[in-house]
């Protein structure tokens, strides 16, 4: 069995101090260590945890995701289209529930048989974590070499690998909304590209603009490409947890996540996490066209959702319904001065600029220059 505190300290000595995940009983003592002694983000979904760690990693942190193998299925989207595609390194620990020969619950049976195959399929290098301390430390040092090459590496963790660490009492807080501005008049439904032009005006050497998957990123690129932009591809819903990872790790930068209704609905739990950790330097702007515009305009059913109520109730400090472009300009200017976690909601027209190109720069190049920007 591994001495969990000693193993955790070895992780820390290698620089791994940013953790996120969803608990698993096989990993609970490592998770308890991370909660007790490190920065640990309690995610609502393993995919969100990967996205948050990816953001923190881009911002210069060494990050660790912790998950049950059943949660590996939740994380496949960001592990294939975010960390792999953008070459963002994250160190993973995934439990092996359902291992052949151990008596486990029926729901783990299939995942127990395919966990390592799934990692192979996702082109994630991995190893079974040894329960011998000296050996495990050697494995850690090998894993660290992958991380330093910008590759993700996963340890597969069997039952009884970590010795007991008590979870210290978690000091939890409530987060409260301080200013909520709801719909007060008719809105104007501007086209997305005009909204993006307005948002882009804020950009300076302190600000990053992160655009959600699909045409939002493509239009932002056409509005004006720059090293402090990132265009998410694939991994729908990951823009705000990714932004939070950056915002928490770089408190001196303004981090703006431009989200879509389909995207936010796909990972709705993220706003609970964003609000709980409350980065003061994060502005979350939702462009709602009631549709999956990028994939042909199919409905998202967001007309039934009051995003302002939801973001306010989970504790975004400021939430505001934006009726037109001049209000958007005013609120962004105010946010630059007063900051605080802020959620702006704007209804936009369906459709996009035609013809619409795609970024000519590759995702990992976009990431590389953002890393440079964030560390400059």
Ligand X SMILES: Cc1ncc(C[n+]2csc(CCOP(=O)(O)OP(=O)(O)O)c2C)c(N)n1
User: Binding string, 233-272, against ligand X, x = CB under 6 A?
Assistant: -xxx-----------------------xxxx---------
Q: Does the footprint of ligand X cover residue 216 (CB under 6 A)?
A: yes
Q: x-or-dash pattern for ligand X, window 296-335, by CB under 6 A?
A: ----x-----------------------------------
CB atoms within 10 A of CB 56: 28
Q: Does 289 interact with ligand X (rule: CB under 6 A)?
A: yes
- CB of residue 344 vs ligand X: minimum separation in angstroms? 16
Which residue from 37, 35, 21, 11 is spatially nearest to 72, judged by alpha carbons? 21
Q: Which residues of 72-97 are buried (b: 16+ CB within 10 A; e: fewer)?
A: bbbbbbbbbbbbbbbbbbbbbbbbbb
Decide whether 236 or 311 has the Cβ nearer to ligand X.
236
Q: In the complex, what is the shortest distance from the CB of residue 314 to ligand X, in angstroms, rounded to a whole number?
A: 19
Closer by beta carbon to ligand X, 4 or else 263 = 263
> Exactly one of 218, 292, 323, 367 binds ligand X (CB under 6 A); which one?
292
Nearest-approach distance from CB 165 to ligand X, in angstroms: 35
Cα–Cα distance for residue pair 54/83, rounded to 1 Å: 7
Rounded to the nearest whole angstrom, what is the least distance from the CB of residue 109 to ligand X in the complex? 26
Are β-strands 291-292 and 298-299 bridged in parallel, bridged antiparallel, or unpaired? antiparallel
Q: Is 215 in the site for ligand X (CB under 6 A)?
A: yes
Q: Which helix (H) or strand (E) holds 363?
A: helix 363-375
202's tokens = 């804020």
Question: Whose Cβ is closer to ligand X: residue 213's or residue 281's?
Answer: 213
Q: How far is the CB of 143 from ligand X (least distance, A)?
A: 27
Which residue of 190, 214, 241, 315 would you call a contact of ligand X, by CB under 6 A? 214
Residue reference for tokens 């306010």 = 312
355 contacts: CB under 8 Å, gap ≥ 6: none
CB of 266 to ligand X, least distance (A): 7
Interaction between residue 48 and ligand X (CB under 6 A): no
Question: Does the protein bind ligand X through residue 213 (CB under 6 A)?
Answer: yes
Q: Toward ligand X, which CB reaches closer, 35 or 346?
A: 346
Give least dist CB 193 to ligand X, A. 11
Min separation Cβ 215 and ligand X, Å = 5
Of these, 198, 222, 293, 317, which contacts ligand X (CB under 6 A)?
293
Answer yes or no whether residue 217 interacts with ligand X by CB under 6 A: no
The dihedral over CA atoms of 166, 173, 274, 329, expressed in degrees to the nearest 10, equals -160
Chain residue at closest Cβ approach to ligand X: 260
- The answer to whether 45 contacts ligand X (rule: CB under 6 A) is no
Q: What are the C-alpha distances in Å from 224 to residues 177, 199, 217, 235?
A: 33, 11, 11, 23
Site for ligand X in 55-84 (CB under 6 A): 77
* Closer by beta carbon to ligand X, 161 or else 212: 212
The answer to whether 158 and 128 are in contact (CB under 8 A) is yes
Number of residues that bind ligand X (CB under 6 A): 20
CA separation, residue 304 to residues 9, 287, 301 (Å): 48, 15, 6
Task: Please check whether residue 348 is in contact with residue 289, taking contact to mean a CB–CB distance below 8 angstroms.
Answer: yes
- Shortest gap between Cβ of 302 and ligand X (angstroms)? 7
- Any idea what the Cα angle at residue 21 is, between residues 85 and 259, rounded to 5°? 55
Number of Cβ atoms within 10 Å of the Cβ of 339: 16
* Phi-psi group of 214: left, alpha or beta (phi > 0 → left; psi -120 to 50 → alpha; rest → beta): left
Residues contributing to the site for ligand X (CB under 6 A): 77, 212-216, 234-236, 260-263, 289, 291-295, 300
């Amino acid at each position: 069995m591994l001495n969990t505190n000693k193993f955790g300290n070895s992780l820390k000595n290698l620089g791994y101090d940013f953790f996120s995940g969803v608990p698993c009983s096989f990993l609970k003592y490592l998770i308890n260590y991370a909660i007790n002694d490190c920065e640990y983000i309690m995610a609502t979904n393993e995919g969100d945890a990967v996205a948050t760690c990816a953001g923190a990693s881009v911002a210069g942190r060494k990050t660790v995701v912790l998950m049950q193998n059943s949660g590996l299925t939740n994380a496949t989207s960001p592990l294939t289209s975010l960390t792999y595609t953008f070459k963002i390194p994250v160190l993973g620990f995934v439990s092996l529930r359902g291992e052949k020969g151990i008596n486990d619950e029926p729901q783990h049976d299939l995942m127990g048989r395919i966990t390592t195959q799934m990692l192979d399929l996702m082109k994630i290098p991995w190893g079974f974590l040894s329960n011998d301390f000296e050996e495990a430390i050697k494995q850690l040092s090998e894993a660290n070499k992958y991380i330093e090459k910008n590759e993700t590496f996963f340890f597969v963790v069997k039952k009884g690998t970590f010795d007991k660490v008590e979870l210290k009492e978690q000091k939890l807080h409530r987060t409260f909304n301080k200013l909520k501005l709801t719909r007060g008049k008719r809105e104007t439904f501007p086209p997305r590209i005009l909204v993006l032009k307005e948002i882009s005006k804020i950009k300076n050497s302190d600000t990053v603009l992160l655009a959600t998957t699909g045409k939002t990123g493509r239009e932002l690129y056409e509005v004006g490409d720059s090293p402090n932009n990132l265009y998410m591809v694939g991994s729908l819903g990951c823009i705000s947890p990714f932004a939070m990872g950056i915002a928490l790790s770089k408190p001196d930068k303004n981090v703006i996540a431009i989200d879509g209704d389909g995207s936010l609905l796909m990972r709705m739990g993220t706003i609970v996490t964003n609000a709980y950790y409350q980065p003061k330097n994060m502005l979350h702007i939702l462009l709602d066209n009631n549709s999956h515009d990028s994939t042909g305009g199919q409905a998202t059913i967001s007309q039934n959702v009051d995003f302002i109520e939801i973001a306010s109730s989970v504790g975004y400090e400021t939430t505001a319904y934006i009726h037109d472009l001049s209000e958007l300009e005013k609120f962004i200017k105010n946010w630059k001065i007063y900051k605080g976690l802020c959620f702006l909601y704007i209804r936009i027209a369906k459709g996009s600029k035609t013809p619409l190109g795609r970024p000519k720069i590759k995702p990992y190049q976009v990431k590389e220059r953002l890393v440079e920007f964030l560390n400059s």
